[in-house]
Chain A
Amino acid sequence: MSDSDIRDAMVGLLNTAGIPVANISFENKPFDPDDRSDSSYYIAFYFMPSTEDSAGKTLNDDSEQLGSIQISVFTNLNSDYYGTKYLETIDTIKGAFLTGVEASYNGQAVTILDSSNISPSDSESWYQGGLTINYRAFKKRV
Chain B
Amino acid sequence: MAGSNDYVIKAGTGGSEVDILGQLDGTLTINGAPVETTNKSSGGYIEYLDAFMAGKQVQFAGNFNLINEAGQNTIKGDIESGVQAEYTIETGVGGESWSGKFVVSGRSDGAPLNGVPTMAVTFMSSGIYTYTAPTVV
Is there a chain B Cβ closer than 8 Å to A64's Cβ?
yes
Is there a chain A Cβ closer than 8 Å to B12's Cβ?
no
Q: Which of B5, B7, B19, B116 contacts A64 (CB under 8 A)?
A: B116
A57 — nearest CB in chain B belongs to which residue?
B5
A138 — nearest CB in chain B belongs to which residue?
B67
A1 nearest CB across to chain B (Å)? 14
Measured between beta carbons, the chain A residues less than 8 angstroms from B116 are 55, 64, 136
Is there a chain A Cβ closer than 8 Å to B8's Cβ?
yes
Q: How far apart sit A100 and B7, CA to CA, in the bound complex (Å)? A: 33
Q: Which of A55, A58, A99 contacts B19 (CB under 8 A)?
A: A58
A51-68 interface mask toward B, CB cutoff 8 Å, 1 = contact, 0 = none?
Answer: 000111110111010000
Is there a chain B Cβ closer than 8 Å to A113's Cβ?
yes
Measured between beta carbons, the chain A residues less than 8 angstroms from B8 are 57-58
Is there a chain B Cβ closer than 8 Å to A114's Cβ?
yes
Establish whether residues A56 and B114, one from each chain, have CB atoms under 8 Å apart when the complex forms: no
Q: Which of A56, A58, A114 contacts B65 (CB under 8 A)?
A: A56
Q: How far apart sit A36 and B8, CA to CA, in the bound complex (Å)? A: 61
Q: Which of A56, A99, A100 contacts B23 (CB under 8 A)?
A: A56
Establish whether residues B21 and A60, one from each chain, have CB atoms under 8 Å apart when the complex forms: yes
Chain B residues with a Cβ under 8 A of chain A: 5, 7-8, 19, 21-24, 64-65, 67, 114, 116
